[in-house]
Every structure is written in structure tokens, then in C-alpha cells.
Amino acid sequence: MCAVVVLLAACGKKEPGGRATHLDFAAYGDCRHQTDIHQKIATNIAAAGAAFVLVSGDLVDAPDDPQAWVEFRGAAKDLLKRPYYCAPGDHDTGSKNLYQKEFGLERMYYDKVEGDCHLFILDSGGSFEDADQMAWLEKTAAASTSKHKIAVFHHPPFGIQGRRVGQADGIRPKIHPQLVKLKFCGAICGHQHAFYTTLREGVRYVVTAGGGASLYNIDPSLGIDGDQSRKFFHFVGFQKTGSRIDARVYDVDGLEDESLAFKFCEHP
Ligand SMILES: [Zn+2]
Ligand SMILES: [Zn+2]
């Protein structure tokens, strides 16, 4: 190994060639439909060393079919060996509660501290109109002493997928002002099958919904200056440096699209 590679590795930076490596954590989602793509993404995230994974939901097509969960487990097996924090998507929940059983959940929303990150896994299925969840979020996040507060939920409050802009408009007033007030660093979302990131009033939103489900057309003109987006199968890798978290976006083979790199958050 040449000195440059050793130096880059020691700094936690990517190796020449743009392959995902030395990740602190990663995010992906909407991995139903194409198991082979899901499996490749899972393998590449695991190989890049992510300590935990944030998942934006929609893991299966048929939530009441036990075989769908067998296939999910097979595709995600490299990732399920580490903490796997998934928010429920609209395709995950059925009458048999197999999603809850898969992850041993008594409640669809919960929090977890991983190092200096306080993670809030939220249930957006009711468009954040349930008073219990919102009261819990406010109380728990306000009491948090962690440097980074990160939310994970399925339905994004901002998006550039024409057909689902109305849905984002509907959910936004319920959750965005809360995340601003509670000083969240950002949120990991899914549902709009592509990659999209936008910074709104200090909150960084990352829509990562390219884990294997059929991709949707996106319209960057629906966003704002500074947004980044691309319709492709992908995952997002995060690296912490001091009080800052940087994010890079990788294709299904684990190779970076350098044009999509962004700062997730930075603190004084
Ligand atoms: Zn932060
Ligand atoms: Zn969805």
C-alpha cells in the first residue's frame, strides 16, 4: 500500500477510486422489489465498516407474507449483524404485524443513542398527527444532551418528485417546525425513489430511497438552490470529523458520485 493510501485511510477519507470505506454509519431505504440490488448495497455498506445503519423504510412489498421477510433477511444479512434502525414505511405494516416481530418492536417509534448521535426513529404513517408520538418526541429530544440529533422517518416533508409533492406539503407543517425548534441536525427519509438532499432552516433532509424499489423521475426545478439529487440506486455514507458529519453518496457497487457529497451538520 502506498504512503498516500495509508495517509488517506488514517484520516478516515476515501481511497483513490472513490470506493466507500471507513464509514462511521450509513443510510439507505426503499429496498423492496429487487433483491439483488438490495443485497449489493448491503454488502457494500458492510464492507465499508459502518457501525450502524439508518433505514428509511419500505423493506418488503407484501408485509403479511412471511416469505417476503425471509427474502429481506437474505438480502440484508450482512447488515443485520450490526444495529439496524429502520423507520416503518407504508409497505412494511400489515395486519399480521410481521414488521414489529422482525425487529422486536412494541412501539413504532423509539430513540437510541449511538456514540454522540441521538437517533429518533419515527412513524410517519399517520402524518405526525398522533399526539402521543409528538409529545414523546418533544420531551425526549429537548432533554437530549447528544451532540447530534438525527431523525429517521419514511415520508419526506420536502421532495422533488412531482406526483408526491402534495404529500410532502401535507406532512411538512406537522414535523418540520418541530425539528427546527428541537435543533435536529437532520432527517433521513425515503418514499420518493431517488436521492435528494436539501437544507431547510438549519435542518438537513436526506431522501435516500434507492435501495432496490423501482426508481421515480425527479424534477430538480421543484427544489431550491443548493439542493442535490440523482435518480439512481444508491446508499449514503457518513463520516464524523470532530463536531462535523460529512456525507457521500455511493452507487450500488459502492463507488462514489463525487458531485453529490454534502455536509450533513457542523457544530461550534
Ligand atoms: Zn450534528
Ligand atoms: Zn413508501
174-219 pLDDT per residue, tens: 999 999 999 999 999 999 999 999 999 999 999 999 999 999 999 9
Quick check: 24 pLDDT over 80?
Answer: yes
Contact assessment for residue 42 and residue 86, using Cβ atoms and an 8 Å cutoff: no
Ligand 2: centre distance to CA 63 (Å): 13
Return the closest-CA partner of residue 210 out of 68, 26, 28: 28
Contact assessment for residue 238 and residue 247, using Cβ atoms and an 8 Å cutoff: yes
Which pTM was predicted? 0.93
Q: Which amino acid belongs to residue 92?
A: D
Does the residue 7 lie in any domain? no
Q: Which residues of 119-153 are buried (b: 16+ CB within 10 A; e: fewer)?
A: bbbbbbbeebeeeebbebbeebbeebebbbbbbbb
Ligand 2: centre distance to CA 16 (Å): 35
Question: What average pLDDT is seen over the chain?
Answer: 93
Confidence of residue 82 (pLDDT cuts 50, 70, 90): very high
What is the domain range of residue 232? Answer: 23-266
Q: Give the number of the ligand closest to the Cα of residue 93.
A: 2
Q: What is the pLDDT of residue 61?
A: 92
Does the residue 10 lie in any domain? no
Q: Give the number of the ligand closest to the Cα of residue 29.
A: 2
SS3 of residue 40 by DSSP: helix
Q: Give the number of the ligand closest to the Cα of residue 164.
A: 2
Does the residue 202 lie in any domain? yes
Does the residue 14 lie in any domain? no
Q: What is the mean pLDDT of residues 69-83?
A: 96
Quick check: 16 pLDDT over 90?
Answer: no
**Domain count of the chain?**
1
Does the residue 2 lie in any domain? no
Q: Give the number of the ligand closest to the Cα of residue 156.
A: 2
Ligand 2: centre distance to CA 126 (Å): 13
Q: What is the pLDDT of residue 210?
A: 97
Q: Give the number of the ligand closest to the Cα of residue 59.
A: 2
Residue of 102 and 13 predicted with greater confidence = 102
Does the residue 81 lie in any domain? yes
Q: What is the mean pLDDT of residues 130-148?
A: 98
List the shell of residues around ion ligand 2, using CB closer than 5 Å. Answer: 58, 89-90, 191
Ligand 2: centre distance to CA 29 (Å): 9
Q: What is the pLDDT of residue 163?
A: 84
How far, CA to CA in Å, does 238 sit from each of 21, 105, 262? 10, 26, 10
Does the residue 12 lie in any domain? no
Does the residue 172 lie in any domain? yes
Ligand 2: centre distance to CA 256 (Å): 25
Please tell me the distance from the alpha carbon of residue 124 to that of residue 126, in angstroms, as a whole number.
Answer: 5
Ligand 1: centre distance to CA 187 (Å): 11
CATH number, domain at 239?
3.60.21.10
Please tell me the distance from the alpha carbon of residue 208 to that of residue 195, in angstroms, as a whole number.
Answer: 5
Ligand 2: centre distance to CA 141 (Å): 25
Ligand 1: centre distance to CA 240 (Å): 9
Quick check: 2 pLDDT over 70?
Answer: no
Q: What is the pLDDT of residue 11?
A: 46
Quick check: 170 pLDDT over 90?
Answer: yes
Q: What is the pLDDT of residue 17?
A: 53
